[in-house]
Every structure is written in C-alpha cells, then in structure tokens.
C-alpha cells in the first residue's frame, strides 16, 4: 500500500468554504438542485478541478465529470456524489463524497503520483429529489433508467421544469447522456443513520442499497362550513389522509426492517373554519427485499381505497419512483474492506437505508460505497454533523480503496 495521505485540513476547509454557498442561519445548507446556489457551487468545483489540470465535461442533464489522466487508455475509475441539498440540509450529505474525491485528486497531484487508470470526479444532478422528483435523477438518466425528455419534464411545486431550471443556470452541457463511461465507481457518504456511531465503528463497508418506492396521493372531498355541517354529512379529505398516515406507520412496522414515511402533506383550503376539501400527500416505503415492498405496496393501495370509501372521497394514487434493491460489486467491496484494515480502522458491513446515485450507477458499472458515521444518525437536517476525524478517515479509505482497485486491475503504478 502506498503511503499517500490526504490533507484533512484542506478537506475540512473545502467543506466549510462550500457550506457558505446556500448556508442557513442555523449552520446548514439550503442548496436545492438547479438554483443559483447550485450554479455557484458547480462553478467552484469546476474551477478547483481545472486548477489541477483536469478536463471537465458536463452532460445534457448537468452531470459534471472531471477527468485526471492515467498511464493507460482504459475507462476511468470514478469517485464522487452530489452537491445539492435538502431545503434544510447539512454540510456533509453528498458533499463529503464530492469534496473527498477532490481531495483525492489534489493529494495525487501534490505527490506527482500517476495512476494506471484515469480518475474521474463526478457531481450528479438532483440527487436529493427535493425540488424535482424523483431523486437520483441525473444518475438515473446516465444509467438509462430515465430518458432526457422525462428529466426535462419534471416540475417543482412552483411549476418550473427541470429543463427550464437547468438552462437558467447554464449547466446543460454538450455531452450526450450516458456517453461518459467509467470502469468502476466508489462513493463516499455519511451513513445518515445511527448504526456506525452506536457500534463505535469508523467505517461502513456498504454491501448494497435497500429498495425504495415513492407514491403521491390526492384526496378530494368537499369544502364546507365547520360549524353548520353535521359530522355524518362531511367529506373531510384530511380525515381520509389521517387514516392513510396511520396505516403507513402500521404497514412498515408489520414488515421489519422496512420503513414507511409520509413526508409531505398539503391541505386545502387550509382554513380553520373550513372542512378540508383537498389533501395531497407523499408516501416513502423502503425495504431490502423487493418482494416485501410488493406486499407493502399492495397494502397501501387497499388502504387508500378504504380511506376513500370511509370518508366519501375521490382518490388518486400513483407510484412516482421505484428503485429496486441493489447488491454492490464484491471486488470493490473487498477493496474497501482491505483499505479499512490496512489503515487500522474499525469497520462493519452495512446495507444503505438511504438512496444514493451509486444504486443507479451499479446497473452499468462495478460500484460500491464507503460510509462514515454522523452524529446521532441525523441527516436531512441543518444539525447534521460528521467530525473532522471521521471525514479524514473516510477520505483516506476512499483513496486507499481506489489505489488498491487500480493496482489489482491494471498492474503496479
């Protein structure tokens, strides 16, 4: 193993510098996909990569690829993640993977080290799915899960399309979607859960990602005066929604280790003395077993039918995203395990509970992930925290695993 060491101070400075782009008063980041803040951080990354002599290309949905040449003419080994955040996001979700990848390139450049394969740093577009649904849209288009027209047609809650927003920030590139090939990909990420911290493990050796399905439900009843409408004659859309919300909790608990969440609810007309006539809500189901998700989905459809019937509501339910469970490449998983062992870091195998771009990339190239702990397992929150030492350890494992894979696949550099 080569004794190349990342500069943790420089990595930490990069994290804090970019955190100011869209930074919130509570110390988090509000950097939704394809906003001006997203443009600013993309410009920052592009400049940093070009300073290292990398060639930066952008594809038709805004995915960014920065390539550092290698000794051989072979597909590059990719690292990276995403720079967009939730409306009340933290400093590390996705961001650590991109900036640790940048630190990897800087470390190699400083040492004058030439890898066998080229290396590629990737920033995927709209991973979060917060502004434009579904999540992992850029990597999904790259992997052929969605086409460009589908991506361009996605709208935010204000009616702005993905395509319009992409053009507005100037990041629709000339590279055809899917045309940028790579031989493997490693994605470093915070766990976004409590397991590593609870077990005092420094590194998560990620073996796969659980399956995920998203749904949107619209309920229509009848608006009426709260004081003069008898209970027996009401068609209260919010009551129907409450039945569904309770059922989502019960369905998830009945299928461990599955989880279920209603994360967005919009009520109309949202007036204190008007019976709600319209409700829009979302459901998020996750499970490592796709067959279990099938059962959970069937139960959800039955629940919506029953809630509509019981409250006299019109109802519409549609699945808006289906990401099957993923098993990562065993050889790359082994590279991460060897890297952690070689650095004397404690580790455990883990299946990701959250969705990541790596789940789609795994369909077209060998892929794996590296996890580091986050305080209290908290993520998608301005209080999200990962320590200096945890970032250092994760970036060092990333570097070691990439070099291990490069040597084993392409010979001694």
**Domains (range + CATH), the chain:** 8-210+325-410 (3.40.630.10), 211-323 (3.30.70.360)
Picking from 279, 280, 281, 263, the residue whose alpha carbon sits closest to that of residue 381 is 263
The label of the residue with tokens 């066998």 reads: 116
State pLDDT tens for residues 243-291: 999 999 999 999 999 999 999 999 999 999 999 999 999 999 999 999 9
> Is 37 assigned to a binding site?
no
Query: Based on C-alpha coordinates, what's the Rg of the chain?
Result: 23
Picking from 36, 115, 13, the residue whose alpha carbon sits closest to that of residue 70 is 115
> Is 7 assigned to a binding site?
no
Asked if pLDDT for residue 413 goes beyond 60, the answer is no
Asked if pLDDT for residue 186 goes beyond 50, the answer is yes
Q: Which of 87-91, 131-135, 187-191, 238-242 has the lowest mean pLDDT?
A: 131-135
Take residue 52 and report the two structure tokens written for it: 């290292």
Residues linked to residue 43 through DSSP beta bridges, in sequence order: none
How distant, in Å, are the alpha carbons of 6, 56, 252, 274 from that of 352?
Answer: 26, 30, 17, 43
Reported residue count of the chain is 413
Rounded mean pLDDT of 37-58?
98
Rounded to an integer, what distance in angstroms lies between the CA atom of residue 320 and that of residue 249? 20
Bridge-based pairing state of the strands 326-327 and 184-190: unpaired
The label of the residue with tokens 């299928």 reads: 255
Bridge-based pairing state of the strands 278-287 and 211-220: antiparallel
Measured N-to-C along each axis, helices 237-253 and 290-311 cross at an angle, to the nearest 10 degrees, of 150
Query: What is residue 1's predicted lDDT score, i.e. its pLDDT?
Result: 44
Residue 179 near residue 61 (C-beta atoms within 8 A) = no
Asked if pLDDT for residue 170 goes beyond 60, the answer is yes
State pLDDT tens for residues 90-129: 999 999 999 999 999 999 999 999 999 999 999 999 999 9
Residue 226 near residue 324 (C-beta atoms within 8 A) = no
Whole-structure pTM value: 0.85
**pLDDT tier, 412 (very low <50, low <70, confident <90, very high otherwise):** low
Residue 205 near residue 333 (C-beta atoms within 8 A) = yes
Share of the chain above pLDDT 70, in %: 99
Rounded mean pLDDT of 24-46?
98
Burial profile 362-394: b = 16 or more Cβ within 10 angstroms, e = fewer: bebbbbbbbbbbbbebbbbbbebbbeeebbbbb
Please write down the HEC assignment for all residues of the chain. Answer: CCCCCCCHHHHHHHHHHHHCCCECCCCCECCCCCCHHHHHHHHHHHHHHHHCCCEEEEECCCCEEEEECCCCCCCCEEEEEECCCCCCECCCCCHHHHHHHHHHHHHHHHHCCCCCCCEEEEEECCCCCCCCCCCCHHHHHHCCCCCHHHHHHCECCCCCEHHHHHHHHCCCCCECCCCCCCCEEEEEEECCCCHHHHCCCCEEEEEEECEEEEEEEEEECCCCECCCCCHHHCCCHHHHHHHHHHHHHHHHHCCCCCEEECCCEEEECCCCCECCCEEEEEEEEEECCHHHHHHHHHHHHHHHHHHHHHHCCEEEEEEEEEECCEECCHHHHHHHHHHHHHCCCCEEEEEECCCCHHHHHCCCCCEEEEEECCHHHCCCCCCCCCCHHHHHHHHHHHHHHHHHHHHHHHCCC
Rounded mean pLDDT of 205-224?
96
Rounded to an integer, what distance in angstroms lies between the CA atom of residue 101 and that of residue 289? 31
> Is 278 assigned to a binding site?
no
Take residue 96 and report the two structure tokens written for it: 């650590």
CA angle at 393 for the pair 391 and 397, rounded to the nearest 5°? 115
Rounded mean pLDDT of 178-197?
96
> Is 59 assigned to a binding site?
no
State pLDDT tens for residues 332-372: 999 999 999 999 999 999 999 888 999 999 999 999 999 99
Note if the bond before 269 is cis, omega within 30 degrees.
yes
Picking from 386, 340, 388, the residue whose alpha carbon sits closest to that of residue 90 is 386
> Is 189 assigned to a binding site?
yes
Phi, psi of 187 (to 5 degrees): -120, 120
Take residue 38 and report the two structure tokens written for it: 């997203």
Asked if pLDDT for residue 27 goes beyond 50, the answer is yes
Query: What is residue 323's predicted lDDT score, i.e. its pLDDT?
Result: 86
């Amino acid at each position: 193993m080569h004794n190349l060491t990342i500069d943790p101070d420089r990595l930490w400075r990069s994290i804090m510098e970019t955190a100011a782009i869209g930074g919130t008063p509570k110390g988090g980041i509000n950097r939704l996909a394809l906003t001006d803040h997203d443009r600013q951080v993309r410009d920052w990354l592009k400049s940093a990569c070009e300073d290292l002599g990398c060639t930066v290309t952008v594809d038709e949905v805004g995915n960014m690829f920065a390539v550092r040449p290698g000794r051989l003419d072979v597909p590059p080994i990719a690292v990276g993640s995403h720079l967009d955040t939730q409306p009340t996001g933290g400093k590390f979700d996705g961001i650590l993977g991109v900036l640790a990848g940048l630190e990897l390139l800087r470390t190699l450049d400083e040492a004058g080290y030439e890898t066998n394969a080229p290396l590629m740093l990737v920033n995927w577009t709209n991973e979060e799915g917060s502004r434009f649904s579904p999540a992992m849209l850029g990597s999904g288009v790259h992997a052929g899960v969605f086409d460009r027209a589908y991506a361009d047609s996605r709208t935010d809650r204000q009616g702005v399309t993905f395509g319009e927003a992409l053009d507005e920030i100037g990041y629709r590139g000339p590279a055809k979607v899917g045309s940028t090939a790579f031989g493997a990909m490693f994605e470093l990420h915070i766990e976004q859960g409590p397991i590593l911290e609870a077990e005092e493990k420094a590194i998560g050796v990620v073996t796969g990602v659980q399956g995920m399905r998203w749904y949107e439900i619209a309920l229509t009843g009848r608006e009426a005066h709260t004081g003069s409408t008898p209970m027996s004659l009401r068609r209260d859309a919010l009551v129907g929604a409450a039945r569904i919300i309770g059922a989502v909790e019960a369905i998830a608990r009945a299928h461990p280790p599955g989880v279920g969440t209603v994360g967005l609810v919009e009520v109309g007309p949202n007036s204190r003395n008007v019976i709600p006539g319209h409700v829009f809500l979302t459901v998020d189901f996750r499970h490592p077993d796709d067959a279990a998700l099938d059962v959970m989905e069937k139960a959800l459809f039955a629940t919506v039918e029953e809630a509509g019937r019981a409250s006299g509501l019109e109802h519409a339910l549609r699945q808006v995203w289906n990401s099957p469970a993923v098993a990562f490449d065993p050889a790359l998983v082994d590279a991460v395990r060897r890297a952690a062992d070689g650095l004397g870091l404690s580790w455990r195998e883990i299946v990701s509970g959250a969705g990541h771009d790596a789940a789609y990339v795994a369909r077209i190239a060998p892929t794996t992930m590296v996890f580091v702990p986050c305080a209290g397992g908290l993520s998608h929150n301005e209080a999200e925290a990962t320590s200096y030492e945890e970032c250092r350890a994760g970036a060092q494992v990333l570097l070691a695993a990439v070099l291990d894979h490069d040597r084993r696949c392409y010979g001694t550099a």
